Structure 1
């Protein structure tokens, strides 16, 4: 195996640029989703259940990280969870994979939170239109969290079909088999 390419989105784009992209995508998702729901449903909005909404906002990030773990459940021995505190209050959860993973499996790992959580939020917003403003904010926040995953997926889409992805301190390495001589 040899390294075809190393991807480090934080180094390639920088924290500020990633944060700005996430914020803009979140604002765009909120505006489009909230507007669409208001056009479809004419029910009056309710501000009841504000505390569960706050708890849902706080729970989206850990749930997002847990959803990354679901496709890798079979190889849970090679996974480490790292919990760091940033700015005293904000915990940062990192999932480290110790072994190379097939490209398709890794892409599935990246897209799982986006598909599961966003689908659940959209279904709940259809079932409870009186709280569509809460669900629009949750969807926007979660889409903002998914931006780095989607950027990684975009980079991986251009890699060779049968590549393996290995996580290192410098980012993700795309490994391809060496041709036989």
Structure 2
């Protein structure tokens, strides 16, 4: 097999730009989502549950986002390696590495799983639960911001040849033909 392209967004874009663009995408998604939902729910008042449940939910969201990435790998019965380590602030960092090579479709589904399983239910819940719609929109917007690098990788995979195989080496992806 020949390597068609190696994709590492952190090297191509830069980690500081990724953080900045991810933050901007999250804030803009909240603004663009809050305005229509506020217009839909304009006669209702929001229930305030305090800052601590919000902070706990926002702290757990990146962990849940990472774990949701391996749901398609479980469904397709792929072997994967789940690594958990703690950074200096004792916050867990979870990495999911697929041991087997994946098809282009499986890779795209794996990358878009947090958007499908976290963001879309959050938007539906913000429509259904009127009293807490702002909280659900905050969680959905933060998840969209976290998914920014997933969207970049997905756009690279979509441009790849149809019959390619994607391999994850821990630092990026190799698209093999």
- In the superposition, the TM-score normalised over structure 2's length comes to 0.92
User: Unaligned 5+ residue runs, structure 1?
Assistant: 177-181
Matches within 5 A, 1:40-55: 40-42=40-42, 43-48=44-49, 50-55=51-56
Moved more, 161-170 or 14-23: 161-170
Q: Does 1:117 pair with 2:95?
A: no
Name whichever of 56-65 and 121-130 sits farther off: 56-65
Deviation at 1:50, TM superposition (A): 4.8
Shift in Å at residue 51 of structure 1? 4.2
User: Which residue of structure 2 lines up, in the alignment, with residue 179 of structure 1?
Assistant: none
- Cross-structure match for 1:95: 96
Q: What secondary structure, in the 3-state scheme, does the structure 1 residue paired with 2:70 have?
A: helix
The alignment covers a number of residue pairs equal to 175
Deviations 1:17-61 (A, max 9, x none): 100110000010111111111111121111126544333223322
User: How do residues 51-130 of structure 1 correspond to structure 2 at under 5 angstroms?
Assistant: 51-73=52-74, 74-76=76-78, 78-130=79-131
Distance in 1 between residues matched to 2:116 and 2:171, nearest whole Å: 28
Aligned Cα RMSD in Å?
1.6
Shifted more, 38-47 versus 163-172: the winner is 163-172
| Higher mean C-alpha displacement, 145-154 vs 36-45 | 36-45
Unpaired runs of 5+ residues, structure 2, are none
Counterpart in the other structure of 1:6: 6
Normalising by structure 1, what TM-score? 0.90
Aligned to 1:75, the other structure's residue is in SS state coil
Residue-by-residue CA offset, 1:1-22 (whole Å, 9 max, x unaligned): 1110000011111110100110
Q: Distance between the aligned counterparts of 2:29 and 2:143, measured in 1?
A: 10
Match of 1:165 in 2: 166
